[in-house]
């Protein structure tokens, strides 16, 4: 089943629909409980047992959101258990033929009465010539016998290096798995429910990503939400509280323009009516989401996704060390998992081992890579070849990895413009996106990079990475408000699945989780 992350839905949506029908209390209602009394049937009914475990807690004053989350958890758990059943049934017949060849060599070793157990057939003729041969001939025969033993053992040595390729699949095999029904799951389910999602529309992919995003923004949330809770208390909002909120927003690198816009809206609201802390938090979330959504709405593209039946070219630009190549590899994996055909152009020909790094990412996602093995090759030539390969293959998406450059180096910025001109001349019908990769830990310096690259590369969007390693997650607000660039993707981890399309509602809820 392919989950299209650009549309947030699975292709096989009608198939899992019959699963929630047995999941609710419809099974225990009929009088089928006396039949599974024997122990053999109890193992089969164990699939439905994890559902009634949370049932005693749902009884009295549980709100609708928590009940919705429990129903979604029961449905996902039933799907996961049904998917694991066939996998467990496959290895059962395999051990049966294995004991059959083992008794065969045992019967052969019994009739050999010779004192040497290793090779009975070869040693039977050895004692006969030992009586009539000289000592030199006997020593030569023994050396020949030892050499033959070493040769026989050499054939058994090659299978030793087989465990070497074993760790390779473990890197990519981070498939999402359903954990416990804890606070992390309930929060993720509530965020999906607040966006109007039904229970049968919830997928394990989304639950897993929201949990990663919430954990990734932990450092930013600790510095922002903790101080916000200490200042708010239970009393209505006051001008002093707004001053403290201004300090918290600036400390999170939200930017001066975004901070002033949010505080001005809060002051106008306070002049009209008394605002209690809960209403203030809701109003703050609305203002922050409005800041993030304004550039996205102005672009006319609410969600950046490759267009079908058309060549899409995405350029990844940015300074050194922000994670362009890693982001490109994650985007390739995201496109393949969403049902698109992708191709990678390794146009970063100046950095050492950059082409090898791109090829490794291509192997992990089974995406072909177009590169030039020669040192200091022309990036425009690599892009030229990649466009021809993408057309011949009929690829939906061509990801171009460009060389890192400082925004103050004008000659390198002109080289980037040359690559863009090659694309416009060779593929005028293609949909071109120029995405700037920003490291969230750089804060306001990343904002200055966005301003410089927007002039040279014609930026159409931003990808914010490394949100999990910094307390400056508020830089996303500065990029949207001051640079006016839409945020298209965000990364909150080092895994191959830790990059997803940007959603302002989910980002703000993860940033202010707990309020």
- The CB density around residue 357, as the number of other CB atoms within 10 Å, is 18
Q: Give 97's contacts (C-beta < 8 A, 6+ positions apart).
A: none
Beta-carbon count within 10 A of 85 CB: 9
Res 168: pLDDT: 38
At 62 the pLDDT is 54
Given a cut of 60, whether residue 303 has pLDDT beyond it is yes
Q: Which pTM value belongs to this model?
A: 0.72
| Cα–Cα distance measured from residue 515 to residue 509, given in angstroms and rounded to the nearest whole number | 9
pLDDT recorded at residue 453:
77
Q: How many CB atoms lie within 10 A of CB 285?
A: 17
pLDDT-above-90 percentage for the chain: 31
501 contact partners, CB below 8 Å, separation of at least 6? 5, 6, 303, 304, 305, 488, 489
pLDDT at 415: 76
Name the residue with higher pLDDT: 252 or 204. Answer: 204
- CA 498/CA 492 separation, integer angstroms: 6
Report the candidate in 279, 309, 513 with the shortest Cα–Cα distance to residue 394.
Answer: 309
Mean pLDDT (the chain) is: 76
**Dist CA 11 CA 9 (whole Å):** 7
> In sequence order, what DSSP letters do the residues of 469-507 get, joined into one string?
G-S-TTHHHHIIIII---EEEEE-SSSTT-EEE--HHHH
Q: What's 338-349 look like in SS3?
A: CCCCEEEEECCC
Sequence-ordered alpha helix ranges (H) in 90-200? 103-109, 120-123, 127-132, 135-156, 167-172, 183-194
pLDDT class of 499 with cuts at 50, 70, 90? very high
In sequence order, the β-bridge partners of residue 489 are 463, 501
Would you say residue 47 has pLDDT above 60?
A: no
- Token reading at 397: 């998406």
3-state secondary structure of 205: helix
CB atoms within 10 A of CB 286: 12
Residues contacting residue 240 through CB under 8 Å, at least 6 positions apart:
none
pLDDT in tens, 97-143: 444 444 444 333 333 444 444 444 444 444 444 455 666 677 777 87
Given a cut of 50, whether residue 470 has pLDDT beyond it is yes
The answer to whether the CB of 329 falls within 8 A of the CB of 496 is: yes
Tokens of 258: 């975004």
């Amino acid at each position: 089943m392919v989950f299209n992350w650009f549309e947030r839905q699975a292709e096989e949506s009608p198939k899992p629909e019959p699963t929630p029908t047995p999941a609710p209390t419809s099974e225990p209602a009929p009088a089928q409980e006396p039949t599974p009394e024997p122990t053999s049937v109890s193992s089969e009914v164990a699939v439905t047992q994890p559902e009634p475990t949370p049932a005693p807690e749902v009884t009295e004053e549980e709100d609708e959101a928590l009940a919705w989350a429990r129903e979604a958890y029961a449905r996902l758990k039933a799907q996961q258990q049904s998917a694991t059943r066939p996998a467990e049934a496959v290895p059962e017949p395999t051990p049966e033929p294995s004991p059959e060849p083992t008794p065969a060599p045992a019967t052969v070793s019994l009739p050999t009465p010779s004192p040497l157990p290793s090779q009975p057939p070869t040693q039977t003729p050895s004692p006969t010539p030992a009586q009539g041969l000289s000592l030199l001939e006997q020593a030569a025969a023994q050396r020949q016998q030892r050499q033959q033993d070493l040769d026989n053992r050499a054939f058994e040595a090659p299978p030793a290096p087989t465990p070497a390729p074993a760790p390779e699949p473990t890197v990519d095999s981070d498939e999402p798995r359903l954990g416990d029904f804890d606070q992390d799951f309930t929060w993720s389910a509530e965020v999906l429910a607040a966006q109007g999602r039904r229970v049968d529309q919830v997928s394990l992919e989304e639950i897993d990503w929201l949990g990663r995003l919430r954990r990734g923004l932990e450092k930013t949330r600790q510095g922002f939400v903790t101080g916000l809770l200490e200042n708010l208390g239970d009393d209505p909002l006051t001008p002093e509280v707004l001053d403290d909120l201004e300090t918290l927003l600036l400390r999170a690198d939200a930017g001066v323009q975004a901070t002033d816009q949010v505080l001005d809206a809060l002051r106008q609201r306070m002049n009209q009516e008394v605002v209690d802390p809960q209403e203030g938090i809701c109003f703050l979330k609305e203002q922050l989401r409005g800041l993030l959504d304004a550039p996205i709405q102005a672009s006319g593209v609410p969600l950046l996704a490759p267009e079908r039946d058309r060549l899409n070219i995405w350029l990844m630009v940015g300074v050194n060390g922000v994670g362009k190549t890693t982001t490109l590899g994650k985007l390739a994996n995201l496109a393949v998992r969403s049902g698109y055909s992708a191709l990678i152009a390794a146009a970063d020909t100046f950095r050492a081992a950059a082409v090898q790094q791109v090829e490794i990412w291509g192997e992990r996602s089974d995406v072909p890579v177009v590169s030039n093995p020669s040192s200091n090759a022309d990036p425009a030539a690599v892009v030229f070849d990649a466009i021809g390969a993408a057309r011949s293959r009929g690829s939906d998406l061509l990801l171009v990895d460009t060389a890192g450059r400082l925004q103050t180096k004008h000659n390198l910025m002109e080289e980037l413009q040359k690559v863009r001109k090659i694309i416009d001349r060779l593929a005028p019908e293609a949909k071109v996106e120029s995405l700037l990769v920003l490291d969230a830990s750089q804060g306001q310096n990343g904002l200055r990079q966005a301003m410089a690259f927007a002039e040279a590369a014609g930026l159409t969007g931003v990808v914010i990475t490394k949100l999990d390693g910094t307390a400056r997650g508020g830089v996303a607000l500065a990029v949207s408000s001051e640079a006016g660039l839409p945020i298209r993707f965000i990364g909150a981890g080092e895994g191959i699945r830790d990059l997803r399309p940007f959603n302002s509602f989910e980002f703000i809820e993860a940033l202010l989780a707990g309020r």
